[in-house]
Amino acid sequence: MPSMLSSVRRSLRASVVLANVSLATVLFATPAWSDPSKLEVFPAELARVAAELRDKALAESDAYDFIASLTTEVGPRPAGSVNDRRAVAWAVERLTSYGLEVRTEPVTVPHWVRGKAAGRIVAPYPQHVELVALGGSIGTPEGGIEAEVIEVEGVDALEALEPGAVEGKIVFFNRRMTRHPQGAGYGPAVQARGSGPAKASPLGAVAVIIRSAGTSSHRFGHTGGTRYADGVRKIPAAALSNADADMLERQVATGKPVRFHLELGCRNLPDEMSANVIGEIRGREKPDEIVLLAAHLDSWDLGTGAIDDGAGCAIVSEAARIIAALPQAPRRTLRVFLAANEEFGLSGARAYGELHADQLVNHTAAAESDLGVGKVSILRSRVAPDRMPWVRDLERLLSPLGISHVDTPAFGGADLRPLRPARVPFFDLPQDATLYFDYHHTADDTLDKLDPEDLRQNVAAYVTLAYLLAETETDLGRAPEPEQ
């Protein structure tokens, strides 16, 4: 039951939204799309319906209820867990109720369980620290391990050390993630999480601890998958809270030997079955041509996966629900793809690529939502240069939402990776990620972090994009070759 206060807060937010809508109506009394001289390729009717759907989503979409239900009735849904399977059943029921044709496609997923995690600095100044195991880490022997700490910034610095420098030690990767609206700090910060243990082990390290790849100042670690290399001895790996990484950094800076104790109870269990969930609106003229909207249904286990990626699932599903309610289906098939196990090895994306290998060339466009639920302010595209007039018209339809096109090519998201070789045109509507990495992969990834107004703005942007892609008569062709 929502508290009295939260329902008051919600109705206050609702009136703010209404005020915004009426302000927008005044500001955009003559929207760009209604002036035929401003549209380069869109027929007026296509633009009119897209604008109607956009404004309807902004006023009344209900993606918030999707996330509330998923996080309350299922909760965290790491790959291979009982909740992972419950999430699939939940999504099938939900998408069916949205008027989509729904099916599941089986995916084999790894099954890793976290167990307990404890860490402390033993010397020179004994202190308890907060940390979490990295996804996939092996456990320590019962009673934990204790060793001297060697600090490096990142993998490059590790590889530049003298031979023997890390023998028998715990490597502390201490690169700080910088805050950025598009999450640009994540790439450099996440490198040590992904490959640090695999790089440190052959050098003789006994364990790895990293500064969390996240911007939170809360005293908890950010988890995330690590990848051991084939044939390399596996060593335990954990992420320290930023505050405790600061503490460890200060103790190392004293120049005195720093000893650390780590105990992890993680285990890798046999693989399990999960599924990709597919919900479709079958195209009325070109059912074999597919516009794909992706997000991932799995989450890490520490929070409830409200933001990563309950929000993305809700945004793309709600966009499809609004389109499914139109009197007639769009020209092409609109397919919602809720991927299994994105977080711990992209199992769902790989399975999709294998199962649909023959149809990838029939995917006319794709977009993924997996960067939380901040407001969208930019549009990125990956289309042939001669299709840019189409993209500029799209931008005109999105501009009342405060969205403008930027020249950086669309990335497409991790679950769209199998579509890259087929050169499927990609569109990104990335969320503002300034705060996203405070919550990402932590116990704080919960429903209360979402702003329902921002969520409606997201749905409005995605429904506009999805409808135009599925309904347009323009052939968007193939995207330029992906750069390596």
Which DSSP category does 229 fall into? P
Q: Which of the stretches 114-122, 149-157, 187-195, 308-316 binds Zn ion when contact is defined by CB under 5 A? A: 308-316
Residues within window 123-142 making contact with Zn ion, judged by CB under 5 A: none
Q: Which of the stretches 72-80, 103-111, 113-121, 305-313 binds Zn ion when contact is defined by CB under 5 A? A: 305-313
Closest separation between CB of residue 210 and Zn ion, Å? 19
> What residues are paired with 268 via a beta bridge?
112
Cβ distance to Zn ion smaller for residue 196 or 310: 310
Closest separation between CB of residue 307 and Zn ion, Å? 9
Cβ distance to Zn ion smaller for residue 289 or 309: 309
Residues within window 430-459 making contact with Zn ion, judged by CB under 5 A: none
Q: Which one is catalytic: 130, 151, 289, 342?
A: 342
Distances 319 to 135, 235, 292, 461, 467 between C-alpha atoms, Å:
32, 44, 12, 9, 9
In what side-by-side order are the strands of the sheet with 145-152? 127-129, 117-123, 259-264, 145-152, 170-173, 207-211, 237-240, 131-133
Is 378 strand, coil or helix? Answer: strand
Residue 363 to residue 369: CA distance in whole angstroms: 17
Closest separation between CB of residue 265 and Zn ion, Å? 25
Cβ distance to Zn ion smaller for residue 77 or 387: 77
Exactly one of 244, 309, 318, 432 binds Zn ion (CB under 5 A); that residue is 309
Is residue 301 a contact point for Zn ion (CB under 5 A)? Answer: no
- Dihedral, CA atoms, 90, 94, 96, 97, nearest 10 degrees? 140
Host H or E run for residue 56: helix 44-60
Closest separation between CB of residue 338 and Zn ion, Å? 12
Closest separation between CB of residue 431 and Zn ion, Å? 11
State the number of binding residues for Zn ion (CB under 5 A): 3
Catalytic-residue membership of 473: no
Identify the residue whose tokens are 């927008």.
24
Nearest 5°: the CA angle 375, 380, 382 is 150
Is residue 308 a contact point for Zn ion (CB under 5 A)? Answer: yes
Residues within window 358-377 making contact with Zn ion, judged by CB under 5 A: 370
Phi, psi dihedral angles at 363 (to 5 degrees)? -80, 115
Token duo for residue 440: 């990402």
Cβ distance to Zn ion smaller for residue 98 or 344: 344
With CA atoms as reference, report the closest residue to 375 among 303, 256, 458, 466: 458
Is 185 strand, coil or helix? Answer: coil
Is residue 415 a contact point for Zn ion (CB under 5 A)? Answer: no
Cβ distance to Zn ion smaller for residue 87 or 158: 87
Which DSSP category does 431 fall into? B
Closest separation between CB of residue 339 and Zn ion, Å? 9
Cβ distance to Zn ion smaller for residue 151 or 309: 309
Token duo for residue 309: 């990626």
- The residues, ordered by sequence, that sit 6+ positions from 14 with a Cβ below 8 Å of its Cβ are none
The catalytic residues are 342
Q: Which residues here bind Zn ion, judged by CB under 5 A?
A: 308-309, 370
